[in-house]
Amino acid sequence: MKTIDELLSEGVTGKRVFVRADLNVPLDGTTITDDGRIRAVVPTVKALADAGARVIVASHLGRPKGAPDPAFSLGPAAARLGELLGADVACAEDTVGISAEATVSGLSDGRVAVIENLRFNAGETSKDESERAAFADKLAGLADVYVGDGFGAVHRKHASVFDLPKRLPHYAGYLIATEVGVLKKLTDDVKRPYVVALGGAKVSDKLAVIDQLLGKADRLLIGGGMAYTFLKAKGYEVGISLLQEDQIPAVKEYIERAEKNGVELVLPVDVLVSSEFPDLKTKAPANPTTVAADAIPADQEGLDIGPETRKLYASKLADAATVFWNGPMGVFEHPDYAEGTKAVAQALVDAPGFTVVGGGDSAAAVRTLGFDENAFGHISTGGGASLEYLEGKTLPGLAALED
């Protein structure tokens, strides 16, 4: 895989460089609530602009249905990118139309433009290869060189991620090079003890990575909504907690395999419960009750790990040489259910080894709960991509850059 440093050494002055970034940031109207992904691509964009390239930044945002939708405009992201660069960033009103062509044509050396949301065009996400190819051809007409730096999208076989690199000289940006380097530390010659903490809502989203980790990790700590399927598989009452009944057989098999392989599978010993899901807008007090994990009332829902589980998980992370964490331990968006996620984040900060926050809600939680990002070894920009890499899957966006 060629990197941006090789491209810069070849010279980029006057070249139109297409940077596939990941500007898929959360918005409250037009206000960005977490700019982490924008900040992550700044080193690549700045290096290219400083070297005299004419930089075209492209990304998706949200899930518009293949047509323009103002609610998913990249305008706010483009404005924030300009603030971070300390320079004006032009913003086209379309992806490959008249505005995009005019905006790119108007770039001078060292300047940056953002074209509109790639998913405003149905060809970006189409499963029809010819439709994707046609869109990729149009995107290729805007540029001379391709730089892939949108790690959060590399697991998608989309036009700008998979098809476009085949049409232009292609290189990996700084973010992708860093992300891949980190993931290799989690898969090749891992320093032990290797501890993985998994949370989030659905166990089905994590089955494939658990399957792989049962042969690699020393300990697996399970929290979040997915924990209740594990507790149910052990025969516990879980009340009205989030539960995937159809996954219980697979979870039982994993529990047995963990014991057989000598992998320590750690489940909550107590949980915070309530009869009502908390109001995440008003953050009104929820007044949860703490109960043992095997004593959840039939009319109650588990919404966070309890204080004893927090202590337990912290102790299991205390000697870790390598840690990977993906998924919150509870409904961290509400202060009454944030302590479990906060405890795991703090345990990563305190751990002596290399710690990786695996993107998605985990990365959002770290920032929301006020942690210093520099206190972690690495905070990934792509939760789904990180998980699929650890599952051993071939990621289309990385494969395209390796050709």
Q: Show which residues are catalytic.
A: 37, 202, 360, 384
List C-alpha distances in Å: 331 to 22, 335, 340: 26, 9, 9
The HSE-up count of residue 120 (CA atoms within 13 Å, CB side) is 20
Q: What does the alpha-carbon distance between residue 388 and residue 20 come to, in Å, rounded to a whole number?
A: 20
Task: Write down how long the chain is.
Answer: 403
CA pair distance 162, 155, nearest whole angstrom: 9
| CA-atom Rg of the chain in angstroms | 22
Give the Cα separation of 160 and 93 in Å (integer): 18
What is the C-alpha to C-alpha distance for residues 253 and 233, in angstroms, rounded to an integer? 9
Q: How far apart are CA 232 and CA 244, in angstroms?
A: 9
Tokens 């899930």 label which residue? 63
In 18-70, which ranges are continuous DSSP H helix? 36-50
Give the phi and the psi of residue 219 in degrees, each rounded to 5. -140, 145
CA atoms of 364 and 341, how far apart (whole Å):
11
Distance, in Å, from the CA atom of 147 to the CA atom of 149, rounded to the nearest integer, reads 6
